[in-house]
Amino acid sequence: MEGKSMLKLSHVLAFLLLASLFQSLMARDLISDGIEVLQLPVENEGESVFCPGKLSWPELVGMPAGYAKAIIEKENSIVHDVRLLLPGMVKPANYVCGRVFLVVDLKLIVQIPPSMG
């Protein structure tokens, strides 16, 4: 009987030691680390959107991916993640401010207007 209680006590102590290693997850900590949290919609050209600034770049169709990435990052300062997709690849369903998808062909030429998401 004493062995089982010592085992339970050791499990509790191990749990408490592990728990003390983790920091609490607070929204203000996420923001200070540069991770975006839920935002309220803002007005952009007459429609409500979650991300400020330019959201799509139709003028970049036919341009090289490197050039398009530079233009996108220059025109919207919140863009921090530009991802390349080949035609037919599926975009993730979640919408992330600061992430832009470039659909390119095998020569890395933009095929579809890049958009935030």
Tell me the per-residue pLDDT of 51-84, one tens digit each, with 9 for 90 and over.
Answer: 778 888 999 999 999 999 999 999 988 888 899 9
Q: Which helix (H) or strand (E) holds 16?
A: helix 2-21
pLDDT at position 42, please?
Answer: 47
Other Cβ atoms closer than 10 A to 61: 14
- Mean predicted confidence (pLDDT) in 14-43: 56
CA 62 distance to own-chain centroid: 26
Closest-CA residue to 76 (of 115, 103, 47, 31): 115
Statement: residue 24 has pLDDT above 60: no
Q: Which of 9-18, 70-79, 99-108 has the weakest average pLDDT?
A: 9-18
d(CA 71, CA 87): 21
Statement: residue 25 has pLDDT above 80: no
Statement: residue 16 has pLDDT above 90: no
Q: Whole-model pTM above 0.75? A: no
Q: Which domains does the chain have, with CATH numbers?
A: 2-116 (3.30.10.10)
